Amino acid sequence: MTTRICLINQKGGCGKSSLCFHLSGALARMGLSVLLIDCDPQGSLSQGFLGPAFVESLDASDTLAGLFDDQDRVTAPLLQPILTPIPMVSLIPASLHLARYNTPRPETSGLLQFALREFLESIADFDIVLLDCPPNLYQCTWNALLASDHVLIPVPPEDFGTQGLGAVHQAVSSARLLHPHLNLLGHVVTRCDRRLLIHQAYEQKLRQLYGESVLNCVVPEASAFKVALASRQPVAVFCARSKAAHSMNLLASEILQRVHRTTHQQRTVA
């Protein structure tokens, strides 16, 4: 079965797009087929693989925006993932065409809030789907929540990074009213420099607040991530022996273990 994981946080710059980008490479090197869904109108994830010029040249119907356009809903199932230069990794891109549909109060949008879920239910050729969400809790994030099995919350160890987590948790709880099996996979500490006492303190605070919900793996602040991104390759592909690549491999393994454990628990209860 396909596993769908959305990455959400109201904070910009917390590592959602970066995690999706680099995790896809680690998962692909494990032999898993990965579909990336860029739900952010900024299109950072799409540009990471395809470059800004290519993404800006795409018609709205060739991006996620096609799912939200009432006039294009008839042709929405024809939306096809783009093969990235990385084997086993495909992408549904986003661009600024998506911005007009990312509206507040998405729970009042009727069937439109299920557009992404309906689309993903028509695709069954991938092991993992990663959904990169914008830094807000509007229509695009809401659609991703209702289309996912699991939620992963990236949190940088700083004051701005931890603000607004209550609203994120509330959004997950609200989504469960329509999607009861949605699971909070956990919080992952990102962009962490453990040489800094303030980062150590915030990581400790997160673990005290959320306990086992915080993943053991911590994503370091490392230049290898930026160099790999500039080369349009996930770090596990670009420099497989680097510490940054090792952290992505550890994170991918821990995520898969948590998914397996949650799936087993749900089957046991059923």
Residues of the chain with pLDDT under 70: 70-77, 160-162, 269-270
| 130: β partners | 5, 36
* pLDDT recorded at residue 70: 61
Q: Fill in the DSSP letter of residue 164.
A: T
The b-or-e profile of 12-45 (16+ CB within 10 A means b, else e) is eebbbbbbbbbbbbbbbbbebbbbbbbbbbbbbb
* pLDDT recorded at residue 74: 46
Condensed to tens digits (0 to 9), the pLDDT of residues 150-207 reads: 999 999 998 755 678 999 999 999 999 999 999 999 999 999 998 889 899 999 999 9
* pLDDT recorded at residue 267: 73
Residue 214: how many other CB atoms lie within 10 Å:
19
Range of the domain at 10: 3-269
Condensed to tens digits (0 to 9), the pLDDT of residues 195-224 reads: 889 899 999 999 999 999 999 999 999 999
The CATH code of the domain that includes 250 is: 3.40.50.300
Question: How far from 247 is each of 25, 134, 206, 252, CA to CA, in Å?
Answer: 12, 24, 19, 9
Q: How many domains does the chain have?
A: 1
Rg of the chain over all Cα atoms, to the nearest angstrom: 17
* pLDDT recorded at residue 158: 83
* pLDDT recorded at residue 77: 53
Compute the C-alpha angle 42/150/167, nearest 5°: 65
